[in-house]
Structure 1
């Protein structure tokens, strides 16, 4: 029972937040209410939103404004603090990823995704930082062919009863031949060199 009460208390603390963007006149009116008379905000500001259609209506006083919900390209973290605690502790309340933009008149074509971030450095962030990478089609085809050939060779090696390998060098001179043999013996052992014809059975 105690655990269920804790879960309910935690679920009640989770908030869903979005940024409200109003025209200049209405925004100044709401800002003045928040500063002088915050108790009158509920009677002055009303929001009717349909999350499925991403559309709604915002009523400021007696004026009705069409509103459209848009998605941010980035996530904004929201925090709150306690004034009595001298603002020393911050508590995260939500991740803001939507903005409700209001207009004077209805808009016919509205994009559901916002191309800008919330701050000036994030202007056109979707085009600048999340753009598609340029790919050379010829290199892509070559890479795919090499990958398929490699998978084919590996699959045939798994089905083989015995395996045998041979190391080939581009410049195989008599001077560096002993060094190459020593390197092979160090890597594969004395019975596994490039001159060995011994076949080894692989036991699964």
Structure 2
């Protein structure tokens, strides 16, 4: 068999700086990119998700937060070939840096609710569907899990044990639909209509 070399993606994140520092970084990247390593230093603390940026004599601090969406990063113009695109990383974190210490409110938020472009504003609450939480079903599930752990623990202590699986002869379909509606809400009838149209 031929050995395939797995391509390891780069680790990338978006760095958001104040307007003055961002403009200086752009100028350095356009004129002398090799100078940026001497002027700028980034320290990441992954345990606390803290970011410290030393840019010249200025010291900026920020928080590394998770984006609600995943952005793919690509490279082009490799070996003077602009027709091909090469994927380099999946970007899912952003570092908001500024002057001063981190506020307690921003420190608690480990994930942002907004995307990068205007159409993804408040995307976590608008587009991502949440399951409905029913306290009665949660309490009942917790009781069943406790009873199951008790039965398994006593089964381990027993000298010999045997089990038998009993299937329901006439399962109640309406009850299953009630559980689905209570968990996920009312479903649209697009799928049922498409199924019925196939049989016509």
Compute the TM-score of the two structures, normalised by the length of structure 2.
0.62
Please state if 1:104 is matched with 2:104: no
**1:119-164 deviation digits (Å, cap 9, x = unpaired):** 11101101111253568999x9xxxxxxxxxxxxx83539xxxxxx
Distance in 2 of aligned mates of 1:39 and 1:105 = 28
Of 17, 34, 38, the match for 1:39:
34
| 1:157–1:32 Cα change, 3 Å | same
Unmatched segments (≥5 aa) in structure 1: 141-153, 159-204
Aligned to 1:116: 114
| Residue number among 138, 146, 155 corresponding to 2:167 in the alignment | 155
Aligned equivalents of 2:87, 2:126: Cα separation in 1: 29
- Give 1:60 deviation, angstroms: 0.9
Cα distance, 1:35 vs. partner?
0.6
TM-score by length of 1: 0.60
Q: 1:136 to 1:23 in 2, by over 3 A?
A: same
Q: How much is the aligned-residue C-alpha RMSD, in angstroms? A: 2.9
- Runs (4 or more) in structure 1 with deviation over 3 Å come to 83-86, 133-138
Does the C-alpha gap of structure 1 residues 156 and 72 become closer, same or farther in structure 2, counting only changes over 3 Å? closer
Structure 2: 5+ residue runs without aligned partners? Answer: 138-165, 171-200
The one of 52, 58, 65 aligned to 1:63: 58
Match of 2:12?
A: 17
SS at match of 1:157: coil
Deviation at 1:45, TM superposition (A): 1.1
1:48 to 1:127, Cα distance in 2 relative to 1, 3 A: same
